[in-house]
Amino acid sequence: MVLQTEKRKKEHIDLCVNKDVSFDKKTTLLECIELNYSSLPEIDLSAVDLSTIFLGKNFSFPFIVSAITGGAQVSKKINLQIAEACSVVGVGMGLGSMRAMIEKPSLKETYNVKKDFANIFVSGNLGVAQLENYSIKEIDLAVQSIEVDALAIHVNSAQEAMQPEGDTNFSNLITKISDASDSLSIPIYVKEVGHGISFDIASKLAKTNITAIDVQGAGGTSWTRVDSLRHKKSFGNVFRNIGLPTAVSIIKTKKALIGHNKKIIASGGIRNGLDAVKSIVLGADLVGNALPVLQCQQKNGVRGVVDYLENFKKEMEIASFLVGCKNISKLQEQEYFVIGQLNDWLK
Q: How far is the CB of 224 from ligand FMN (least distance, A)?
A: 12
Q: Which of 268, 276, 308, 313 binds ligand FMN (CB under 6 A)?
A: 268
Q: Which of 96, 124, 236, 273 binds ligand FMN (CB under 6 A)?
A: 96
Contact letters for ligand FMN, residues 156-195 (x by CB under 6 A):
-----------------------------------x-xx-
How far apart CA 265 and CA 216 sit, in angstroms, is 8
Q: Which of 253, 267, 279, 320 binds ligand FMN (CB under 6 A)?
A: 267
How far apart CA 79 and CA 64 sit, in angstroms, is 13
Q: Which of 5, 52, 66, 79 binds ligand FMN (CB under 6 A)?
A: 66
291 lies in the binding site for ligand FMN (CB under 6 A):
yes
100 lies in the binding site for ligand FMN (CB under 6 A):
no
289 lies in the binding site for ligand FMN (CB under 6 A):
yes
16 lies in the binding site for ligand FMN (CB under 6 A):
yes
Contacts of 335 (CB under 8 A, 6+ apart): 36
85 lies in the binding site for ligand FMN (CB under 6 A):
no
208 lies in the binding site for ligand FMN (CB under 6 A):
no
Give whichever of 90 and 269 is closer to ligand FMN, judged by the CB atom: 269
196 lies in the binding site for ligand FMN (CB under 6 A):
no
Q: What does the DSSP 8-state code read for residue 67?
A: P
12 lies in the binding site for ligand FMN (CB under 6 A):
yes
123 lies in the binding site for ligand FMN (CB under 6 A):
no
92 lies in the binding site for ligand FMN (CB under 6 A):
no
Per CB under 6 A, which of residues 222..261 are in contact with ligand FMN?
none
13 lies in the binding site for ligand FMN (CB under 6 A):
yes
Nearest CA-CA partner of 253 in 306, 312, 313, 190: 190
324 lies in the binding site for ligand FMN (CB under 6 A):
no
Nearest CA-CA partner of 161 in 220, 221, 240: 240
Provide the binding-site residues for ligand FMN, judged by CB under 6 A: 12-13, 16, 66-69, 96-97, 125, 154, 191, 193-194, 216, 220-221, 267-269, 289-291, 294
